Amino acid sequence: MADPLPLQDKILMLPSDENTTGRTLGEAELAFLTEVIRSGSLATPYGSFVKKLEQQFADLLGVKYAYACSSGSAAVHSAIATVNPEPGDEIVTTPITDMGALTPILYQGAIPVFADVESRTWNVTAETIEPCLSERTKAIIVTHLFGNPCNMNEILDLAQSRGIPVIEDCAQAFLAKHNNQLVGTIGDIGCFSLQQTKHITTGEGGIVITNNDAFARRMCLFINKAWDYDDPRPEHYFLALNYRMSELQGAVGAAQLSKLPEVIQQRCAVATQLTKKLKGLPGIETPWTNPRNIHTYWRYCLRVDDQVIPGGPVGLGESLKEKGIVSLPRYIQKPTFQYEIFREQRTFGNSRFPFTIARPEALDYSPKRFVGAFEGLKNLLVLPLNEHYTDEHVEYIASCIHQAIQNNNFSS
């Protein structure tokens, strides 16, 4: 049992990633932005900041290619367009993720096939992916949810034995590691988001990375309407969008990137402290991570046992809300395949395409296939975590949780 903590009778304002209190935006960003405005070149082909961001991101991760784009969803879309599925081909992915990681699959005419997750990490595993593979599988997307890496060794063994490329969605997992390898560099393509709440931000933005020369060319073209600026006689080679990041975002991104290692270090330190203060509390499980992992904590997730704590994560979340701690019980509430877009197959006009050309087994969303996902969401309480949390903030959060559990002040 952890040491007793002081009673919290006042509300302490926590740093928030929605505004300046919980972000690392400052003079460096302003200086670069001023430079962009003074230059008058706000679009990437004429400026230098997006190129700088791409080069520095590639260097930091130790990969050959990094391309900035307009969002994390655009990054995932570019990755899928890069593997170039035929209509009706399948992309195996997770049912617990941001919708922006799923809709690009449908836009490319492919079918998301959902693999179950392991309930204590909310991540897909080789075991859950394997039964989803078919002769139509064109790629596997693994999502390192909340900053906690998937078990990549087993997943890569499986994928390589079938010759299937692996896309890593690292939107929540900057600089996280599995077996000393940075996520995003383990599979074939890595995708990142620079949206407001992620580890570093340009408001909206994304980055895709790869070591594969052919993939690199295709993803760069996809972001640029398939127009090659370096080709002496350029052409629009294939169906593609304008997913470019602007120089304004590039300037902010380049400044933010230099702060990333420090942000990660702080977040890991905060999480370690919080775990120390919550260990041993009845009905609460602190984040589990494989000992071979470095978890970089986009959020801090508890498993709340509703057999021990009446009301489970919802009850605990309510009681923390009274203390000004905004948590998210059950994260996305239900697996993504239960949202209207999948339930009603709302896509292009009334066509239901590409669901209409899917194998029936690929659309089997029956709950018995997703025991881990339902079980995982039922107990999940997503707590905020921020690089600006001080010892006082950590102690406040921990003692509010202790208090809520001791008082047992949920409807029982």
> Which residues make up the interface to ligand PLP (CB under 6 A)?
71-73, 76, 97-98, 100-101, 143, 169, 171-172, 193, 195, 206
Instruction: Determine the residue type at 298.
Output: W
Pick between residue 90 and residue 98 the one whose CB is nearest to ligand PLP. 98
Pick between residue 210 and residue 336 the one whose CB is nearest to ligand PLP. 336
CB 6 to ligand PLP: min, Å? 35
Strand partners, 224: 242
CB 277 to ligand PLP: min, Å? 27
Pick between residue 173 and residue 405 the one whose CB is nearest to ligand PLP. 173
Strands 328-329 and 380-383: antiparallel
Longest Cα–Cα distance in the chain:
73
CB 183 to ligand PLP: min, Å? 12
CB 80 to ligand PLP: min, Å? 12
All residues at 6 or more sequence positions from 227 whose CB lies less than 8 Å from its CB, including other chains: 221, 234, 235, 236, 237
CB 208 to ligand PLP: min, Å? 12
Terminal CA-CA length for the chain: 23
Pick between residue 209 and residue 394 the one whose CB is nearest to ligand PLP. 209
Give yes or no for a contact between 294 and 268, defined as CB atoms under 8 angstroms apart: yes
Pick between residue 101 and residue 200 the one whose CB is nearest to ligand PLP. 101
Give 343's DSSP letter: I
Strands 137-143 and 90-93: parallel
Spatial strand order of the sheet with 293-294 comes to 181-182, 177-178, 293-294
Pick between residue 47 and residue 147 the one whose CB is nearest to ligand PLP. 147
CB 68 to ligand PLP: min, Å? 12
Token couple for 223:
């972001």
CB 69 to ligand PLP: min, Å? 9
The 3-state DSSP class for residue 329 equals strand
Give yes or no for a contact between 2 and 281, defined as CB atoms under 8 angstroms apart: yes
CB 40 to ligand PLP: min, Å? 28
Pick between residue 76 and residue 83 the one whose CB is nearest to ligand PLP. 76
Pick between residue 176 and residue 309 the one whose CB is nearest to ligand PLP. 176
Q: Return d(Cα 296, Cα 96) in angstroms, integer.
A: 18
Strands 90-93 and 111-114: parallel
Matching residue, tokens 């993720």: 97
Pick between residue 85 and residue 100 the one whose CB is nearest to ligand PLP. 100
Matching residue, tokens 């970089």: 296
Nearest partner of 208 among 411, 57, 350, judged by Cα: 57
CB 99 to ligand PLP: min, Å? 8
Give 233's DSSP letter: S
